[in-house]
Amino acid sequence: MKLKNILLSGMMAAILAVGSVGMTVNAANVVEIPSTEVDSVYNLEVDSNTLEGWATGPQIYSESGIVMDIDSGAILYAKNIDDQHYPASITKVATALIALQNYELDETVTFTWDDIGFLEYGDAHIGIKDGEELVMEDALYGMLLASANEVSHAIGAHMEGGYDKFLEVMNATVQELGCKNTHFMNTHGLHDPEHYTSVRDMALIGSAVFQYDKFREITNTQQYTIPATNITAETRTFQQNHKMIWKANANYYEYCVGGKTGYTDQALTTLVTFATKDDTNLVAVVMRTHGGGTNAYIDTRAMLDYAFDNFTKVPITKKMVGNENVSKVADDSYVVLPSGVTVEQLESSFEAPTELKDKTGKVTYTYEGQEVGVVEVTITDEYYNEIHGIKEEVKEENQEKKTGLPFIVKLILGILAVIVIGFVALVGFVYYKRKQLEKKRRLRRMQYRKQREEQMRDL
């Protein structure tokens, strides 16, 4: 069996080596789209442009596109943001999120034939062999920079419970983030008709993983080398596929700090891009880009420039929230508004926490139905008790437990105090009586001596 696996691994490695030049998909495989179809997609309505008073955003070659402020969740640009599409390799952004949440960077990932055997001609890979080992950190670089599909699979299979467990956690986690149009069938993004997401959901996933320092470090790296392994004596060096971080590339964008590319015949080009300017962090996502992969970069640049140039952060205070059930607003809370739109024009919805011991709620602000920010708030103790049906007496008892002694202890101490006081009083009384008795005895002795002296004088 071991010999068979070795032979199969060798055959697969040879096939993939022939079929994958530079370990990436050959651009010649890109499906040609008729120019009339490209124009029709380009001219599709941009939803955010229909908002009264909203800055007019660019037309794009992508069927769906979004720009989201990472820290507030504000949506600045929107075109078909909830349409379901095949994500291709931007799936790996979600895989990275689950890996960073559940693994340590120094864990060892061991590859099996299951991680390699599914690869086909043209699939991106870095030539990993059956039985080979990578440190998790190196695996993440291989997945996010080289878009290595076998590495993506192995990262999923590494979870206790196996690959299916990883996918279960992956789908549950993105639902918790608020994703409503996502269903992942694999960790790499190779085509599956039941594997889909939306640009809004990918922006939510991207915003979540952007919070990890290691992800930001990896996705902003241009070139990385994996050292020799237990099987391969040579090092592996590969480059970042996202062209907007390469200064020498025509698609370079000075504010880009990383991202992830994707392409399959069914998905067309997909692209996730992170950009930072001053103190603003944005994520842009385009899916089903028509007219070639370069148009994904053209779209992304236009969307990001539009967002940076036309929107301003507006601070939100407790007073502005105006909810008596809110005791505190998170520091540096804000919404993002286009020029001419004020906070007074916004609608807000308050979502209270539902779990015990959780007093953190949120207020979501919208303008004409467009989300412009989510503010984290702390609810009052009184409202917390009301939510959970906690009576005032229970609150007082809890307060007593927190700040004073329990009643039974106080009762015992009170009884002991009475006993001590009684004992002291008794001792004092006995002492007083004894003194009185001694005084009487002294008087009697004095009287006796006096009588004796008088009798002696009479004699």
Q: Is residue 148 part of a domain?
A: yes
Answer with the one of 250, 281, 306 that is the final residue of a domain. Answer: 306
Burial (Cβ within 10 Å: 0-12, 13-18, ≥19) of residue 431:
exposed
Q: Do 8 and 98 fall within a single domain?
A: yes
Task: Give the pLDDT of residue 34.
Answer: 65
Task: Give the pLDDT of residue 436.
Answer: 77
Q: Do 219 and 292 fall within a single domain?
A: yes
pLDDT by residue for the chain (459 residues), tens digit each?
Answer: 444 444 444 444 444 443 333 343 333 344 555 677 888 999 999 999 999 989 999 999 999 999 999 999 999 999 999 999 999 999 999 999 999 999 999 999 999 999 999 999 999 999 999 999 999 999 999 999 999 999 999 999 999 999 999 999 999 999 999 999 999 999 999 999 999 999 999 999 999 999 999 999 999 999 999 999 999 999 999 999 999 999 999 999 999 999 999 999 999 999 999 999 999 999 999 999 999 999 999 999 999 999 999 999 999 988 888 888 888 998 889 999 998 899 999 999 998 888 888 889 999 999 998 899 999 999 898 888 888 888 765 444 555 455 566 777 778 888 888 888 888 878 777 777 777 777 777 777 777 777 776 767 666
Question: 250: which 2 tokens?
Answer: 């025509």
Range of the domain at 390: 316-403
Answer with the one of 306, 332, 365 that is the final residue of a domain. Answer: 306
Task: Give the pLDDT of residue 356.
Answer: 85
Task: Give the pLDDT of residue 14.
Answer: 43
Q: Is residue 53 part of a domain?
A: no
Q: What is the pTM of this model?
A: 0.78
Q: Do 86 and 119 fall within a single domain?
A: yes
Find the helix or strand (DSSP H, E) in which 338 lies. strand 334-338
Q: What is the phi-psi region of residue 389: left when phi exceeds 0, alpha when psi lies from -120 to 50, beta otherwise?
A: left
Name the CA dihedral angle for 179, 181, 183, 187, rounded to a multiple of 10 degrees. Answer: -60
Burial (Cβ within 10 Å: 0-12, 13-18, ≥19) of residue 78:
buried
d(CA 19, CA 3): 24
d(CA 399, CA 129): 62
d(CA 286, CA 203): 10
d(CA 331, CA 181): 31
Task: Give the pLDDT of residue 87.
Answer: 98
- Structure-token match 């609150």, residue found: 395
Answer with the one of 403, 418, 435 that is the final residue of a domain. Answer: 403
Find the helix or strand (DSSP H, E) in which 438 lies. helix 407-458
- Per the structure, the count of domains in the chain is 3
- Parallel, antiparallel, or unpaired for β 75-79 and 108-110? unpaired
Q: Do 227 and 351 fall within a single domain?
A: no
d(CA 234, CA 253): 34
Spatial contact of 23 and 148, defined as CB atoms under 8 Å apart: yes
Q: What is the phi-psi region of residue 237: left when phi exceeds 0, alpha when psi lies from -120 to 50, beta otherwise?
A: beta
CATH number, position 261: 3.40.710.10
